[in-house]
Chains A and B, each alone.
Chain A
Amino acid sequence: MIEQPSAVRLQNVSKRYRGSGILAVDDLTLDVKEGELVTLLGPSGCGKTTTLRIVAGLETPDHGDVYFGDQAVVLSDTRYSLPTDRREIGMVFQSYAIWPHMTVRQNVGFPLKVRHTAGSEVRRRVAEALELVGMAGTEDRPAPMLSGGQQQRVALARAMVTGPRVLLLDEPFSNLDAKLREQMRIELRLLQKTTGITVVFVTHDQAEALNLSDHIVLMQHGKVQQEGAPADLYQRPVNEFARDFVGRVSLFEGAVTAVDPSGKICVAIRNAPGWTIRGRSTNGQAFSTDAAVQVAVRPEDVEVRPDEPTTVPALSGTVEAALFGGERIEYRIGVAGHGHVLAYSSRGLRFVEGDRVSLTFRDDEATVWPGSA
Chain B
Amino acid sequence: MKRRFGRAQRDRDGQRTSQETAGGDFTAQLAEPFGLPASTKPSWSKRPLPRILGPALLSFLALGFVVMIGLFILFMTFVRSLPTRPDFTFEFWLDLARPFFLTVVVPNTLILVAGTVVVSTLFTIPLAWLINSTTLPCARLFTTLIALQIAIPGFVTAMGWTMLVNPQNGVFNQWLAGLVRVSRVGLSVENPLGMGWVMGLVLTPPFFLLVSGPVRSLGAGFWEAAAAAGANTRQRVFYIALPLLWPAILGGMIYIGMTALSIFEVPALLGAGSGNNAVLATEMFYAANPSSSGPPVYGAAAVYGSIVLFAGLLGLYF
Contact = CB atoms under 8 A, between A and B. Distances in A.
A74 interface: no
B221 A148 contact: no
Interface stretch (A91-99, A282-290, A348-356): A91-99
Given A110-B231, A110-B239, A142 B31 contact: yes
A85 B244 contact: no
Interface residues of A, number: 46
Given A95-B3, A144-B38, A151 B24 contact: yes
A168 B1 CA distance: 18
Interface in B74-102: none
Interface string B18-39: 1111111011101100101110
B148 interface: no
Interface stretch (A121-129, A174-182, A237-245, A259-267): A174-182
Contacts of B239: 110, 113-114
B149 to A, nearest CB: 26
B59 interface: no
Given A95-B5, A101-B34, A110-B239, A147 B24 contact: yes
B224 A110 contact: no
Contact of A176 (B19, B37, B230): B19
Interface in B215-233: 221-222, 224-232
A87 to B, nearest CB: 8
Contact of B34 (A84, A100, A158): A100
Contact of A148 (B3, B22, B38, B232): B22
Contacts of A86: 230
Contacts of B16: 174-175
A100 B21 contact: no
B235 interface: yes
A142 to B, nearest CB: 6
A56 interface: yes
A113 B229 CA distance: 10
A100 B27 contact: yes
A168 to B, nearest CB: 8
A89 B228 contact: yes
Interface in A128-145: 142-145
B97 to A, nearest CB: 45
A110 B238 CA distance: 13
Contacts of A206: none
A146 B5 CA distance: 17
A149 interface: yes
- Of all A-B residue pairs in the complex, the 3 with the closest CB atoms, nearest first, are A144-B31, A97-B225, A148-B20
